[in-house]
Structure formats: C-alpha cells, structure tokens
Amino acid sequence: MKTSSGFSIPMRQEGRNLLRDIKTKLSLLGGGKERRRWSILDTFDWRLLSAGTVLMRDRKVFELHNCVGDELLAREEFTTSLKSLYGDDFPKGTLHDKVSGPISIRAVMPRAEFIREVECYRLENKDGKTTVRLEMETLSRPVPSGKPMPFQKLLRVVALKGYERDADAASRTIASLGLEAHADTRHYAFAALEASGVTPFDYTSKIKQSLSPELTAREACRQILAASRDQMEANISGMLADIDSEFLHDFRVALRRTRSLLQLVRGVYPEELVDKFKLELGAVMRGTNRLRDLDVYLLEQDAYAKLLPKGLRPGLDLFFADLKTERKAAFKKFTREFQGAGVTRKLKAWNAFLEKGAAQAYEECPTGNAPVKVLANQLLMKRFKRIIKDGRKISNETPDEAVHDLRIQFKKFRYLLEFFKSLYDAKELDFLIKRSRKIQNVLGAFNDVCVQQETITHYLTAVDLKRAEAVQLCASLGALVAELERKRLAERKKFKAAFATLDHPSVLAVSEHLFAPSIEAPRETESVTPVSKPSAKKRTSKRAQKKPAS
C-alpha cells in the first residue's frame, strides 16, 4: 500500500461540504473516524529526525515513521510513566533497535503535541474489493482549557497494491473539484512542529559562527562568545530537569570554550576584565565537576563490565550502585548551587558584559581593532608550532603530566580551529582538524583512563572493610584497576603513530599556507606580530610532497 497523492483542503472549507461534493462523483463507503493525540519525541539535538525518522507517542502507543511520506517503520505498545526515555527504556524489539542506535546516550523527550483526526472512506470495484482509501485528515494544536486549533487539513488518496490506476482516477476526479495538490512530501509531524513554533535542527553543540576576515578581532570574539553563551543557556533547562547527561556536557563545553577564548585572545579586552570573568566562570565550572565525573563513570558501566570476567561483575555492580547514590546527592547539591544567588549573579554579569562591554573599544587594547584574520593566523600558527614542538618531546618514558599538558594544548588548538573555521578554506582546515582529532582522541582516552584509575583507587582506600560485600567489591575493583592499567599503557603506545600523522611535511605545509599572514596588521596592532610568510619555494618543497603517514 502507498500514498499516491494528497490534496490541501482550505482551512475555511467545511469537511462535510467537501464530502458531499466528492460523493456526487465517487461512491464512498465507510466513514470511520480515528482521533489520536500525539506527542513527537526526539532528542534535544534531533538525532531521530537527522536519521530520517519520526517517533510519536499516544499514551502507551509508540510509532516510528519515515520522515518522507508516512511509512510506519515500527510500532510498540508499552506502559511507562517516564516522559523522557533512553534507548534501553524501550522493550527489546524492532522499535528498540531502530531508536536506540541513533539516539545513543541521549534521551528522547516531548518536542511538540498535536491532534490528528482522520475520517476513513473506501472505494470498491464491481467485485466488492477495496481498491482505494480516502483519508480526510485534520491536524490541530491542543490549546490548554480551550478548543483545539486546526492548522492543516488534507485529503489523502491511498492506493492499495495493484490498484494504482484506480487511485489515479480518483485523484483526477478530486482534482476536478478545485482542490490543490499537497506538494509537501514530508511526514505530517513537520507541520505539527511548525504549528507549535518548534524549529527542527535548531540546536547543535558545534560552533557555527560565520566570520568575515575584515571583522575586527573584538567584534569576532564578541560573536563567538555570544554564540557560546547561547549554547550554555539552551542547555540549562534540560540540565536542571536531568533529562540526560549531555545537557550538562554541552553546557560545560560551551563554558570551557568561553574561558579558553578569553585566555587565548589576549589584548582584545582589558586584563582585569578577562581575569575577573575567567575566575567567575571557572567557579561555575567547578560546581559542575563532580556531577559530570559521576555521569562519565555511569556511562562507562557496560564498558567496565566487559573488562571483567563474569564472576567479578557483581562486585562492580555494588560500585556502580554506590555511584548512583552519590549522583543523586550530587545532583541535588548542583541544582541548589546553580540556581543560587552566586551562580545567578556570575552568569548575569557575564551576560551584561556580552551585551554592552564586549563590543566596546578599549584604548589600552589595540589588538581588538585588528582584522580578525590577522589575529587568527597568529594564534593558530603559534599554537600549532607549540603542539608540534611539545609533541616531539613525548616518548614512552615521558611523565604522564607532560602528556596531560600536551592534551590541554591540543584542546586549545582545537578550540581555535573551531572558533575561526569560517575564515579558512574548509577542505584544508578539515584536513588539519581530522589529523588533530585523531591525536586528541588518543590523548583524551589516555587521560580518561588515568582519572578513572585514580578515582577507583581512592574509592578503594575508603571502602568500609566491615561491609558485608567488602571482599567482593575490592576484588572486582582491584581487577578493574589492573585492566585499566593495561588500557593506559595501550593508549600511551598509540600516541607516537597518531602524532606522526600530524607532524608530517604535508600537514606542516598546509598549516604554513593556511596561517600565513595575508592581511597587514594596522599600526596600532603592533602587539600582534605576524608570523613570517613562507616562500613559495618552501611551500612546494620536496619535503612537503611526501606521502602522508597512515
């Protein structure tokens, strides 16, 4: 069965009058009605729509549809009191399999509600077989304590398999009544989102600021900082509602980007202002640290379990039960502090600065008047040279602290690439970002394992040995620490090969080409020292033509 066509019904037109006109030309049978109040579910960052699917819920009925047309991909009935659901909250089956993959660690939550009323009719052939279905559909927006507000009326002509010609004939008949074809082939959930004032794909955790090279450094920084502020604010309600851990994660990332930009772009704003906001925003960040740490551990529960033999996993369950108990207390503490006067004042002050002070010219900060491309070139070249220099010093004998420092340097370089991405050739910059991300992943995994080892070791030292399950708990965590040590060494060994993909003539040539100063800095920006432009001979040297390392 497939939908062969659809027609828009003017909102002012009464359905019964239209049916009367259709019945003068077609022998309609039936007339059953169905009324559903659907809630559209998706993650905050629209992972299901991005995967081409629409998830809807009417009390215990869950349906997954294709984004184009209205093909039903999966249907499940189950009772749950939860408004937001993780993949594992769905019963095992087709719907679970199709939803849990795309949403990953996020939870789906209600994004919009609408009422769909359908009157169903059918056409039969002379043998009494149903050949075509006609669905008169009305979509309405629920109004609290009021009558639903219709926003779309459609007449759908649905052909049954083998009777497409009958459906085409019915469509031509209906078209002759003056109804216009409905050209939108998207699922009707898109109309419901639009009617509810919800814009699909309106959130991404990535920086997507489009900067002009001629923009002053100060205005460019203001725009980047404002975009990060918007990302922070977008995540606050979900963070406080504890819908999923990614709200807190994205809030922290936006906050970290903000602090990094303030630190990296010196000379754009007065030092006392930079130091003040770094200090205050740092305090906001510290208030989220323990809760985020616990989230990370809990997300790793399945991965930890796989590291241990089955016989030792019950002890691990005890550990995670303790973490879950601690998380409840940490979340209460976090929400109390975050909504308290201290954090509110700090965020309000930061917002006031972005609205007024961030665009203001400061006599003592001439760097802010330079074209942003000049500043970006200098910062990126300087940071790139530093990570190459420091990375070359890393060996298997280098203390872990130096590796962690390098990870921080890479993170700052990555942030700069994201901030100023729109100023550069996308293909060349993506090449550089891809190489950097590979090393960042290795360094990040190494750091995570180190932190996990330290935390578990600290936890072990505090275990009450009089506890009934103490032996079981200690045996499991001891084995886990040993496995993490093996993993730590393995991640450490990966660094050299990963770094070689960045410390390569082809990448060095791209960086020199990308970050070479192409715009002269104005006199008042003498503090922004341009890096020397490489000669054409240098850019095309034999060293630069070597094949990249794998």
Return the residue matching tokens 């008042």. Answer: 524
In this prediction, residue 361 has a pLDDT band, given cuts at 50, 70 and 90, of confident
Alpha-carbon dihedral of residues 76, 79, 85, 86, nearest 10 degrees? -70
Cα–Cα dist 373/515, whole Å: 9
pLDDT of 536 strictly over 70: no
Q: Do the bridges between strand 2-8 and strand 53-58 make them parallel or antiparallel, or are there none, so unpaired?
A: unpaired
User: Is residue 236 within 8 Å of 243, Cβ to Cβ?
Assistant: no
Between the CA of residue 166 and those of 27, 132, 290, what are the distances in Å? 13, 7, 65
Q: What is the pLDDT of residues 271-309, one digit of tens each?
A: 999 999 999 999 999 999 999 999 999 999 999 999 999
Q: Which helix (H) or strand (E) holds 279?
A: helix 271-299
Structure confidence by residue, pLDDT tens digits, 376-388: 999 999 999 999 9
Q: Per-residue confidence at 529, pLDDT binned at 50, 70, 90? A: very low
Q: Are the C-beta atoms of 258 and 227 separated by less than 8 Å?
A: no
Who has greater pLDDT, 230 or 359? 230
pLDDT of residue 415: 92
Could you give the residue ranges of the DSSP H alpha helices within 462-504? 470-500
What is the rounded CA–CA span in Å between residue 76 and residue 56?
11
The answer on pLDDT for 27 being more than 60 is: yes
Token look-up 């984004």 returns 67
CA gap 255, 281 in Å, rounded: 7
Element (H, E) at 77: strand 72-77
For residues 483 and 296, give the distance between their C-alpha atoms in angstroms, rounded to a whole number: 18
Average pLDDT, integer, range 432-441 = 90
CA distance readout (Å), 162 to 6, 159, 165, 459: 19, 8, 8, 68
Average pLDDT of the residues in 506-510: 87
Its pTM stands at 0.86
Residue 395 reports pLDDT greater than 70: yes
Token output for 258: 């903000």
Average pLDDT over residues 8-24: 85
- Average pLDDT across the chain, whole number: 89
Distances (CA, A) of 501 to 253, 285, 369, 389, 496: 26, 33, 36, 15, 9
Residue 541, pLDDT > 80, answer: no
The conformation of residue 186, written as its DSSP 8-state character, comes to: B
Name the DSSP class of 148: -
Question: Which position has the token pair 């009464």?
Answer: 14
pLDDT of 534: 40
pLDDT tier at 246 (50, 70, 90 boundaries)? very high
| Mean per-residue pLDDT, 424-431 | 88
**Residue 328 tokens, joined:** 């409840």
Q: What are phi and psi of 146, to 5 degrees?
A: -150, 180
The three-class DSSP label of residue 274 is helix
The residue behind tokens 């990126």 is 380
Q: Report the chain's C-alpha Rg in angstroms.
A: 30
